[in-house]
Chains A and B, each alone.
Chain A
């Protein structure tokens, strides 16, 4: 085999019942390059990585590492070869320190405990991401936790680092820091495989890219010579719209007002909300950015009524104080909710789409004298399926067997069809393919134009800049000011996300939105 490549995966095929996750996929990564693996959800990226890391066994295909054939049976074999992987979801124990976590994960490879802390400090500073080995993981920010995972890989003699969607949990500033680290790794000859769907980051960072679509390689490119649009085309194919017209709007009158909302933590590691003030007007979309775990979940729960504040009067729908009202009463005041977990909160996985349509639409004439009106329920399900282009064999399909994007289209369609006065959404397009994303944004914008007050809580800044009329950020349970989107530069929003609510307008007057926003 050619020794020019760090890693060669040749004609990899993996078949699952009912689908081919990878079909004849070839991936080649050179020494010391940052290689991007791109593709929509379901394109086969995860399967390919799982085969490389020894988590699943390929049906066909050969893998070579530094020109030698790889024989990987389990992740430990991959680690021994010098392959490190940082997963999207961290595997850290919150109640242990950084050093303890690393020692636990590396086992014998960690060396002696007494020297480990020193090595952690040394390695982490060398790559520009300082870490205190004695701090408890529970006190670290998401970005710092990611550093722990990366340092854990770097402590071993690593030749290939795989990062799965590493920037989705970071603030723009943290992303910059990560990219510096990756570039210095690259200089030392380490190869990096960067899995992402944020195209502007790929263009900025990566030397080459392999694009997957439907389990097959749909193209290779040098990202620097491409635009976000041309790469997106390779990802989605020719027939899917990748952008839609967005226009800003001004609200009319306040619908949701939140005054001095403060909550107590209900469980360990929950973020209490601290003195939150904001309003959402009818006919506008307000976006709240923030890194996961900064109080978004808690905010959604107090707004939806899943968590009831018995003795306060901070939240008002129009003129009604709703703090003590149960979710049902709030719903009847015009609230609709789209939670981030679409399976398990937004929809019941093992129920079919008709039943899932009924789940929250029970007030739309589907129930008569306590009895279900089956015909109306299926009518509604079919209406949502056709109107929101949900790809499904029929309304009898279980929610769990729909793809993430299709299920999300269904859930949003279900809520929108109830013509709510206030729609609260958390990560509406998380893990959703571009086509569905466009459709979802279209539905939200249309609802706004009909006069609904919309609140979007998201980590996806591109999305927020694209659809929101006003924008702010939440950090550690505190909310930044909420200003017109076009007057908030990305740098400002990044500062807010990091908890610095001081004004940077004076020294950063230039308005700047992310390059890669598919708008």
Chain B
């Protein structure tokens, strides 16, 4: 089972997932996140996966799909709180080349804050 929580901070949307993200739950996560992005007009997305002990390539598909969604708006995706197994999936699929990775949600927010200061 997967539980999903969303928190919007301006143009930044944080999605916190807990549970095991596989094919069965990936559609729910996709619909929830898509709807949250539309509702909050999200530019930057942060996935907090610290409560996710397991994920397979279905999860990668959802995260990549939402990357495409925010990337079209000139936004970015950051993932944080990855365990060893999930980190290896990201490495194998090359997603670290297009997404930011941090240890914690706060570091992800700080990074976005710093990059917006630099561009102002």
Answer yes or no: do A and B interact: no
Chain A interface residues toward B at CB < 8 A? none
Chain B interface residues toward A at CB < 8 A? none
